[in-house]
Amino acid sequence: MTLVVGTAALAPLLCRRLGEESVRRLSLWIAIALVAYRLIGIPFHAWAYQAPMKSQLPFQICGILFFIDAWVLWKRSYLAYEIAYFLTMAGTLQALITPDVRYAFPHIEFLVFFVSHGMPVFAIFWATFVFGFRPRFVSIFKSFAATLVYAACLVPVNALLDTNFMFLRAKPAGASLLDQFGPWPWYLVGAGGVALVLFFVVYLPFLPGNLRRRTRAARAG
């Protein structure tokens, strides 16, 4: 956990001293690495987790984030950043803090879990500290709306593939927070409420700075 977060925080800070062209090239290579890893990861994850190939398709939030983050770094898309920031910090980072792994280091499943969840965190830290992107208050609702739309798109995918991406069809087999929200479909409502609360929490570090900027803009106006 320390290695993942430390690398994600320090590398962008060190690279801020590079020229614009070097930053552009590095950002492009990181974007390529994100997409390549996730595509190669489909059969690799199936082998590492000893799971069906279809269950490792990149449709979970952590999987689709690889492509959103790649778009952020390649195109410097602020809209994609708004969505990716909250999904990463409220979801992927939480998974790193409370990892759901059956084996300890150096088992392959352990390594795959931390690499898979660490790369989106690295990308978001890069966009935040190198590009200077910052989420706004309205970004909370943009990201939440995007999550609901994406979940709706996964309903037919789950039905077609007989999968359970985003746990839309059933709760996890093991104990989880979703157990506190009742049976299907009520646990989905509870999960949505928890996600919205977490979005507000991970926005708090940027609230003072955004308020100061808004105050300065109002005075200047």
Domain that holds residue 140: 2-220
Q: Quick check: helix, strand or coil at residue 162?
A: coil
- 155-169 burial, b at 16+ Cβ within 10 Å, e below that, comes to eeebeeeebbbbbbb
Q: Which amino acid is at 30?
A: I
Four-CA torsion 34, 36, 37, 42, nearest 10 degrees: 130
Question: Would you say 46 and 21 are in contact if contact means Cβ atoms under 8 Å apart?
Answer: no
b/e burial code for range 180-202 (CB count within 10 A of at least 16 → b): ebeeeeebbeebeeebbebbeeb
What pLDDT does 109 receive?
Answer: 66
Give residue 56's pLDDT. 85
Residue 153: both structure tokens together: 């798109």
Contacts of residue 96, Cβ cutoff 8 Å, sequence gap at least 6: 1, 4, 5, 114, 117, 118, 121
Q: Rounded to the nearest 10 degrees, how much is the dihedral formed by the CA atoms of 207, 19, 83, 113?
A: -110
Q: Which of 61, 60, 68 lies closest to 84, judged by CA?
A: 68
Tally of structural domains, the chain: 1
pTM for this model (two decimals): 0.86
For each successive 10 residues of the chain (221 residues), what is the average pLDDT? Answer: 68 76 91 92 79 87 92 95 93 63 63 78 90 94 95 95 91 74 89 92 91 78 63
Query: Tokens at residue 120, please?
Result: 């989106």
pLDDT at 75: 94
Q: Compute the distance between CA of residue 148 and CA of residue 146 in angstroms, rounded to an integer.
A: 5
**Which tokens hold the place of 141?**
């609702």
Q: What is the pLDDT of residue 179?
A: 80
